[in-house]
Structures are given as structure tokens and as C-alpha cells.
Amino acid sequence: MTTTAASTASAETIVLSPSYNLPIAIVFLAVPLFFVQVWASVAIALFGFFLLVQAATLRLSFTETALDIERGQTLIRRFPYQDWQNWRIFWSPVPILFYFKEVNSIHFLPILFDPKALHACLEARCPRLS
């Protein structure tokens, strides 16, 4: 987890470190499937490599008011905490999916970031309502 201090002491932006565990696990799971079903194995391996590239290029930033998704210096999407209704990290032993619900939409993101830091930031910035 990387912390970047903003202009004021109370305004702190936290940028999560990438985690390659999920993409690598998906690629490794495709290997034994290769002997059973070649095309399914190739599709799953390609999906794993796609997630690997996403983990290397995307960053989640927790600002004072919103969760930002960035690629390099480009802001892709901003999710203001005030619009959030609920969030959850699925399958606690091995976190694989992050879900959050806004007023008008729901979002699912694969866990491509440090899951412990993600959970800590979510608890600090947007405590779960239910």
C-alpha cells in the first residue's frame, strides 16, 4: 500500500499496491484443463493474462471523498463514497471479488490489489451499512 499525502494533513490519498495472486492462479488452473479441454483452457489462460495486465496497469486510489480507478496518470472512473450503499469482499479465506453498490448501479471488481489494504481502506472511508 502506497500512501500519498495531499495538500492538507487530513486529506490523504492511499494508492493500493497490486496483487498478482488471482491472475496467476487463473493461469495455473488453465494448465491442467489443457489436457481435458484445449479451447476452454486457452480461454481461461487468456483471461488470466488479461487480469495480469490489468493488475500491472490499473491503480485504486482512496481519496477523502471517492474511490478513483486510474491507469497511469489518467483517471478512468471516480466513485464518490456518498453514493455507496453497501460493499463486500467475497470469499474471505482467498478474496477473489470486490462488490459495491451505488445508488443507481452495482459493481464487481476482481481482487487485483492487496486485499488486506483494500479492506482496511474500505472500513476507514466507507463503513459497511449492512
What ranges in the chain are assigned the alpha helix state H?
Answer: 21-33, 38-57, 115-125
Q: How far apart are CA 22 and CA 130, in angstroms?
A: 27
List, in order of start, the domains of the chain with CATH numbers. Answer: 2-125 (2.30.29.30)
Report yes or no: 15 and 117 within 8 Å, Cβ to Cβ. Answer: no
The pLDDT score that the predictor gives to residue 92 is: 78
Residues lower than pLDDT 50 in the chain: 3-10
Report yes or no: 121 and 62 within 8 Å, Cβ to Cβ. Answer: yes
The pLDDT score that the predictor gives to residue 93 is: 82
Q: How far apart are CA 86 and CA 4, in angstroms?
A: 26
Summary mean pLDDT of the chain: 89
The 97-102 sheet, strands edge to edge: 84-90, 97-102, 106-110
The angle at the Cα of 122, spanning 80 to 101, to the nearest 5 degrees, equals 55
The pLDDT score that the predictor gives to residue 9 is: 36
